[in-house]
Amino acid sequence: MRVLAARLRTAAWLGWQIESNWAAPFLFVVYAVLRPLAMALILAGMYWAVASQAARREAFLGFYLANAFHAYVTQVMVGMGWVVVEEREDYETLKYVYTSPMGMLTYLGGRSTVKLVLATVSMVLALTVGWFVLGLRWDWASVAWVPLVSSFALGLVACVHLGFLVAGAAMLLPRVAITLNEALAVAFYLLCGVIFPIDLLPAGLRQLALVFPFTYWYEALRRFLGRSGVDRSEIFVETKIWITDYGYDQTLHAFDKSAGKLGIDQIDLLILHQALPGEFDLTISAYQALETLLGDGKVRTIGVSNFMPDHLSALLAATSEVPAVNQIEVHPYFRQSELLAVNSEHRILSQAWSPIGGITFYRDGSHGSTLQDPVINDIAAAHGRTPAQVMLRWHLQQGRQAIPKSVTPSRIAENFDIFDFELTADQLAAIDDLDTGVRGGPEPEQITRTAFGRDIPEA
């Protein structure tokens, strides 16, 4: 073991001498530092070309990360093939390794260690440029550390082992080995989702991409770093303006705060949180700001929340864009039938907040939890579903949008899984009958800036 370690050290030292090009230190700096920096800058150029479009920026971050990790494939895996070519054809030293007691595997192992170090420098440089220069950020709080570190380590082990294979092939292929190395580097770069999504590949090549382990490695690293891998265009982002930010200029600025915090350029649906009846002029100005944002393409739709029939009439009289949605408290214990009818009359979509009655159990439990309601539970049992799924189905079948909130992955999945069963008319009516008329949230008429105002921090 001691002998092996000593030989590995010797090989690594030799590798370091060769890589660091002691005869021409400038070349070493070019390869070890300037080349990864140049790569980062090329990507920077691409970034600026797409930066203004949030959807593409999200995808770009994914590619940027894959490019950073790709250094291991080019420098270590393919690089081990290059070791053979260089030593055999350029330095003509390979014959000495054959005859030395070190052995070819040990020698290649030592050389790969240096290449691992240099690839790490390259990766760290690229990530640093991405973070500080390009502002390409990932959320440290959502990094999945254990899978990230273990898949990273597994990938490195795979790189070195595949590197031995490439080196072996290079030895069997004198002269054309250069082509093999180049071809491998290009193939992995183009086919593994490093520079564009593999969905863009023709069907046959996509199948090939799915065979390459690096396709999965890059995707895993991206995801464990907190990137969902889901394109921005597949996510609908809705947020609200709080009453403290009402007023034309303030609301325009509130958009910047929200978009900045969300890291996006365009919000899909932006709504006013409350009608603020005591200062309705401010509400009108805030809504006019939403209309401006809509005209400028900064938001795709605008709407309101907790607006009662009178508030809607006053708003419609003073502004030109009919709100796309009115987000209101609706769950089996508080249905707001009249308001639902008024929304429909104006062709405003009713969006139910606390749709599974969250407010009945997380604020005060005085009127019981909808999740434990016996009627809802009986209907759920009849369909082999959960009470939450039954309530969500009730909303959908009555033409409402529902926005259940959960931080629990299994519940999020459960709340989506409602499209393959149907409640009967009797079951819908039985849930309608549970209405108590008791509101869980604050009375919209009583919302004032004095009682409910609070500063919304800058992005």
Ligand X SMILES: NC(=O)c1ccc[n+]([C@@H]2O[C@H](COP(=O)([O-])OP(=O)(O)OC[C@H]3O[C@@H](n4cnc5c(N)ncnc54)[C@H](OP(=O)(O)O)[C@@H]3O)[C@@H](O)[C@H]2O)c1
Site residues, ligand X (CB under 6 A): 273, 305-306, 327, 353-359, 362, 371, 386, 388, 403-408, 411, 414-415, 441
Q: Minimal distance in Å, beta carbon 273 to ligand X?
A: 6
Least distance between ligand X and beta carbon 293 (Å)? 19
The distance of closest approach from Cβ of residue 46 to ligand X in the complex, given in angstroms and rounded to an integer, is 35
Which 3 state secondary structure label does DSSP give 227?
Answer: coil
Helix (H) or strand (E) holding 32: none
Q: What Å distances lie between residue 442 and 164, 363, 451, 456, CA to CA? A: 68, 11, 11, 20
Residue 403 CB, nearest distance to ligand X (Å)? 5
**Token pair listed for 352:** 């139910």
Alpha helices in 357-453 (DSSP H): 358-362, 374-383, 387-397, 409-416, 425-432, 449-452
Look at residues 149, 139, 166 and name the one whose alpha carbon lies nearest to residue 73. 166
Q: What is the smallest separation between the CB atom of 411 and ligand X, expressed in angstroms?
A: 4
Q: Is 153 or 403 the residue whose CB approaches ligand X more closely?
A: 403
Nearer to ligand X, 367 or 411 (CB): 411
Nearer to ligand X by Cβ, of 97 and 418: the residue is 418
Where do the DSSP E strands lie in 154-237?
A: none
Task: Give the count of beta carbons closer than 10 Å to the beta carbon of residue 223.
Answer: 17
Nearer to ligand X, 60 or 394 (CB): 394
Closest CA to 450 of 194, 313, 316, 278: 278
Taking the CA atoms of residue 314, residue 327, residue 55 and residue 149 in that order, the dihedral angle to the nearest 10 degrees is 150
Q: Which is nearer to ligand X, 201 or 371 (CB)?
A: 371
Q: How far is the CB of 21 from ligand X (least distance, A)?
A: 57
Provide the minimum distance between the beta carbon of 440 and ligand X in the complex, in angstroms, as a whole number: 8
- Residue number with the shortest CB distance to ligand X? 358
Nearer to ligand X, 50 or 403 (CB): 403
> What does DSSP assign to residue 264?
-
Measured distance CA(279)–CA(343) in Å, rounded: 22
Looking at beta carbons only, is 166 or 388 nearer to ligand X?
Answer: 388
Do 148 and 221 contact (CB within 8 A), yes or no? Answer: yes
Q: Looking at beta carbons only, is 128 or 406 nearer to ligand X? A: 406
Separation of alpha carbons 399 and 330, rounded Å: 12
147 vs 442, which CB is nearer to ligand X? Answer: 442
User: CA separation (Å) from 33 to 26, 27, 36, 240, 350?
Assistant: 10, 10, 6, 46, 57
Nearest approach, Cβ of residue 326 and ligand X (Å): 10
Nearest approach in angstroms of CB 154 to ligand X is 32
Contacts of 299 (CB under 8 A, 6+ apart): 255, 266, 267, 268, 269, 270, 290, 293
Q: Are 257 and 457 in contact (CB under 8 A)?
A: yes
